Amino acid sequence: MKKNAFILFLKYPERGAVKTRLASSLGDDLTYELYLCFLTDISVMTRQIKAETIIVYSGPEGLSFPDFPGVQCLHQRGNNIGRRMYNAFADVLARGYERCVLIGSDSPDLPAKIVNDAFDKLDLADTVLGPSADGGYYLIGCQRQGLCPSIFNGINWSTSEVFMETVKRIDKAGLKYVLLPRWSDIDEPDDLRKFYERNSHRSTESQVMKLLKQKEV
């Protein structure tokens, strides 16, 4: 049996269809360029993860992601984000994996160590959650027996209650969970400013940072 799968839950990069809250302030063209840089930086991070990367994406079927050569791509299924995430786990676990960890595209500076720690913590718990600064979560992972539909159903997504409501669902399902350190997503222009501040002293610049400096965002 295969062991670990790292699920990237992504939108296919299409101008005007990605990071719409950022686009309302930055415009579609710059937001599209930023999103491409998000994917590039995430692709670098995935090479340090002790798991097989699988992309589960929304967008036209039959596509691949140039920054992820050779990575298996599955199409998202479901009519809301909760159902699509649940199906992403179910579809990947059905391929023989024992543990899955899922992130989106909103944290391009997420350290690989946090993701690898998430897999390690699944030796001790059914599920693992990484709370984000906005009240949601940037990462969720589960063992095979930890996948429960109620964790994803009926959540009021894109609100500050997502993380706490998910924890309540996990408790109600009788599952054991472990928390990761808090991290920040990039959804709003102010999130981009905070990203810039916490990455301004890194010795190696990310593609996102290079673009922000080039465009003087």
pLDDT tens digits along 32-64: 999 999 999 999 999 999 999 999 999 999 899
Tell me what the mean pLDDT of segment 170-189 comes to.
96
- At 142-160, the pLDDT tens digits run 999 999 999 999 899 989 9
Contact assessment for residue 72 and residue 86, using Cβ atoms and an 8 Å cutoff: no
Q: To which H or E segment does residue 6 belong?
A: strand 4-11
Instruction: Summarize the confidence of residues 163-177 as an average pLDDT.
Output: 96
Q: What's the CA angle centered on 44, arms 209 and 119, to 5 degrees?
A: 120
pTM for this structure? 0.96
Q: Which two tokens stand for residue 207?
A: 């593609």
Give the model's confidence band at 137: pLDDT under 50 very low, under 70 low, under 90 confident, else very high.
Answer: very high
**pLDDT tops 90 at residue 217:** no
How does DSSP classify residue 16? T
CATH of 4-215, one of 3.40.640.10, 3.40.50.970, 3.30.450.20, 3.90.550.10: 3.90.550.10
Tokens 């899955």 — which residue?
100
pLDDT higher than 80, residue 119: yes
Q: Where are the domains of the chain?
A: 4-215
29: number of Cβ within 10 Å: 11
The band of 78, judged by pLDDT with boundaries at 50, 70 and 90, is: very high
What span, in angstroms and rounded, lies between the C-alpha atoms of 102 and 118?
A: 10
49: closest CA among 104, 140, 110? Answer: 110
Q: What CA–CA distance (Å, rounded) separates 164 from 147? A: 18
Confidence band for 205, pLDDT divided at 50, 70 and 90? confident
Amino acid sitting at position 117: D
- Averaged over 190-217, what is the pLDDT? 90
Q: Which residue has the tokens 């299924």?
A: 77
CB neighbour class for 199 (10 Å; exposed up to 12, middle 13-18, buried from 19): middle
Q: Which of 114-128, 164-178, 201-215 has the lowest mean pLDDT?
A: 201-215
pLDDT in the model for residue 216: 82
In this structure, the number of other CB atoms found within 10 A of the CB of residue 3 comes to 12
Burial category of 44 from C-beta neighbours within 10 Å (exposed 0-12, middle 13-18, buried 19 and up) = middle
Confidence of residue 1 (pLDDT cuts 50, 70, 90): low
The angle at the Cα of 68, spanning 67 to 74, to the nearest 5 degrees, equals: 125
| pLDDT at 96 (0 to 100) | 95
What pLDDT score does 54 carry? 98
Nearest Cα to Cα of residue 186 among 5, 77, 25: 25
- pLDDT mean across residues, the chain: 95
Judged against a pLDDT cut of 90, whether residue 2 lies above it is answered with no
Q: Which residues partner with 129 through β-bridges? A: 140, 179
Mean pLDDT of 104-128: 97
